[in-house]
Amino acid sequence: MQAGDVKLGKVFANDHQSVIPIFQRPYVWDREDNWEPLWKDVRTAAEEVEAEAETRSGAGQSKPRTYFLGAVVVQERYRPPRRLGSSHIIDGQQRMTTLQVLFAAARAVAHDLAADSVVGRFTSLLENRAETVHEAFPDDRYKVWPLPQDRAAFLWAVRRSDDGRTAPQPGHRLVRARTWFEQEISDWAKAASNPT
């Protein structure tokens, strides 16, 4: 079991799958108590970084900033042959799942704005590289693998823009989260002076 400070970029940048074990509860986060505060924190952090970059313009790289988004506890899993490395999310599964949905919504907005390099960056936070995923295990593509009862909604919520599937359960919290985050991010990007 591993607990400690880990940078979010490191968690999602590696070719690795974080699996929600069956003893965890299904996805329960909602807009008022969870999505809004998370989005406010992410948006504020992005705006601070953007403002700092504008004031520095040409003064070189600034020191990377860190933001605490909560604790995550993981337990490494046995790695069978031909499978991607993986771990169980013991604590923090609601947050990690929500961040994946937020990244997918941001990727969709970037796609709509034709910001291809941004689309690629978000894709790398959502999906493991194709060359690391064995053809016999296509689900290893996803950085987070949800519980069976959340799976259809999650796969819809993190789908690519060219995936035309319809929402399996329109009232599922993950479906509503994707719709809500996409609208919030789109509104925020439209209000920005340089949305990409």
State the average pLDDT over residues 166-187.
96
- pLDDT bucket at 5, cuts 50 / 70 / 90: low
> What pLDDT does 79 receive?
86
Share of the chain above pLDDT 70, in %: 88
φ/ψ of 147, rounded to 5, equals -65, 155
Chain centroid to CA 88: 17
> What pLDDT does 155 receive?
97
> What pLDDT does 194 receive?
66
Does 65 or 84 have the greater pLDDT score?
84
**Residue 100 · residue 124 · CB < 8 Å:** no
pTM, rounded to two decimals? 0.90
> What pLDDT does 106 receive?
98
φ/ψ of 5, rounded to 5, equals -80, 120
Does 159 or 80 have the greater pLDDT score?
159
Q: Which of 180, 163, 182, 161 is nearest to 172 (CA)?
A: 180
Count of CB atoms situated within 10 Å of the CB of 144: 21
Render pLDDT for 9-56 as a digit per residue (tens, 0 to 9): 777 889 999 999 999 999 999 999 999 999 999 999 989 888 887 787
Count of CB atoms situated within 10 Å of the CB of 142: 21
> What pLDDT does 52 receive?
84
DSSP sequence for 90-144: EE-HHHHHHHHHHHHHHHHHHHHTT-HHHHHHHHHHHB--GGGS-TT-GGGGBSE
Count of CB atoms situated within 10 Å of the CB of 13: 12
Q: Which of 83, 70, 107, 61 is nearest to 17 (CA)?
A: 83
> What pLDDT does 98 receive?
98
Q: How much is the mean pLDDT over the chain?
A: 90
State the average pLDDT over residues 55-61.
66
> What pLDDT does 56 receive?
73
Torsion 55-58-59-63 (CA) sign: positive
Render pLDDT for 104-114 as a digit per residue (tens, 0 to 9): 999 999 999 99
Render pLDDT for 91-100 as a digit per residue (tens, 0 to 9): 999 999 999 9
Does 49 or 139 have the greater pLDDT score?
139
pLDDT at 196 over 80: no
Q: Which of 89, 51, 47 is nearest to 72 (CA)?
A: 89
